[in-house]
Structure formats: structure tokens, C-alpha cells
Amino acid sequence: MSVGSYHKQSASTGLITLQADQTDLKAFADFAALVPKAAIVAQRRAINRTLRWLRTYIARAVGQQERIAVAAVRQRLRAYPVGSNGQGKLWFGIDPIEASRAGRPRQTRAGVSVAGRRYEGAFYKKVYGGQSDIWIRTASKHFKASDYPDSEVSGRGGASSGWIAENGSRYPLAKAKISLADVRPHFDAWTKRADEQLLKFLKRELNFELQKYLQGSVRV
């Protein structure tokens, strides 16, 4: 039995699954029995529309809350259209995001500023990879672990750890990132809002299919 939309979280991701609650479909039971294919099409369109709405809404909400460019948040959100099981999914990567993606970094003598944040002692540079990022030497007096989450400061390195040893191991660097841990409590609210929006879209899509059916019947 369908229980409607729900969400699950892991250490680094959140996943919202959208599906229609059967109780919401009772008012359309006769139509669904009469034209089952049209009802399935309506349900599929409603879920996919809700996924797009939810992706836009979450990107705006998180961008505003965390002071991150909406475009950067959207890159962490992936919508998966309805499959054969009647479910659509929205994946959200909630690992810390690079501070350089929060806005337009500005290099000053004191450090780097971006999206209202200041990283004293840091520099904006392409150390490795395809784009520049905000870095700081871990030996700097301005280094604060809270500004560089997911950066492991040690004598060893690798691209995945968020830091790199420059000129051997004498100058280990940490990459500035922004934690997304504060978004976790919102998943339940987002799922409920998505469920409510899904019902609105479902009513519209079923009514659209019903009108098409009725017009076809008149022509016959």
C-alpha cells in the first residue's frame, strides 16, 4: 500500500522519494478504472512537475540560508523522473561545498572574501584540478578548522581529502568549504511540502486528462 512521499538521509546525501498516496486518488477511482493509461500519465506528469518544483524551491531556500549561489546548490540536486515503480526521486549531496562556488571570490592583501565570508590569510589560486579554489596554509595563524571542513591536516594528501601538500610536505594546504549540515533538519518539512504540492499537480493533471477524455467522447 502506498504511504505517500518519504525521505532518507545518509552521511553525505539526502534522498526524497515522491509517490502518490492511494487515499489521494480515491476521488478519481472511477476515472482511473475507466481510463487507466490516462491516469498513469497524469500521475507521472504530476510527480515530475513536483520534482522540478522541489529542486527549485530547495535550491533557493538553501542558497538563502547558507549564503551560497543558487546555481551552486542546484548542482548538488539531481532529479530522477518517475520509473516503472511509480516513484520519482530527488538526490541532494550534502557534503561541504567549496567556498569558491558560493559567489565571486575576491583576493585582497588580507585574504579572500566571497558571499559575505572572509578567509583571512587565504589565497585564491588553481593549485590542482580544473578551477581555482580558496586555500590556506595550515601553518598560518589564521587557519581555523571550522572554515575548512572535510580537510584533513596531516603529512599525507590526495585530491579527495580537501588539501594538498605544496612543494612536498612542508606547506600543507586546506581548501575553504561551507558545511551543509544545517540543512538536515529541513528534509522532513521539504518532503511534506512536496507531498502537498504533488496533490495539487495531480488534481490538475487528472482534470486535464478527464477533459481530454470527455471531449473525445463527445466527438464520438
Domain ranges of the chain: 6-95+182-219, 100-178
Phi/psi for 123 (5° steps) reads -140, 150
The rounded distance, in Å, linking the Cα atoms of 157 and 172 is 8
Phi-psi region of 168 (alpha: psi -120 to 50; beta: other; left: phi over 0): left
Contact of 121 with 111, CB cutoff 8 Å:
yes
Report pLDDT for 159: 43
pLDDT at 18: 86
What are the backbone angles phi and psi of residue 9, rounded to the nearest 5°? Answer: -130, 150
Rounded mean pLDDT for each run of 10 residues along the chain, 220 residues in total? 76 89 65 77 93 96 95 95 90 94 94 95 86 91 88 47 46 88 93 93 89 64
Determine the pLDDT at residue 19.
86
Q: Which residues pair with 112 in a beta bridge?
A: 107, 119
Q: How far is CA 220 from CA 38, 152, 180, 207, 213, in A?
A: 18, 71, 57, 20, 11
In this prediction, residue 84 carries a pLDDT of 86
pLDDT of 150 reads 76
Which residue reads 552521511 in cell numbers?
11
Where are the strands (E) in 1-160, listed by range?
6-9, 13-18, 77-80, 88-93, 97-98, 106-107, 111-114, 117-120, 123-125, 133-137
Q: Which three cell numbers stand for residue 13?
A: 546525501
pTM summary value: 0.77
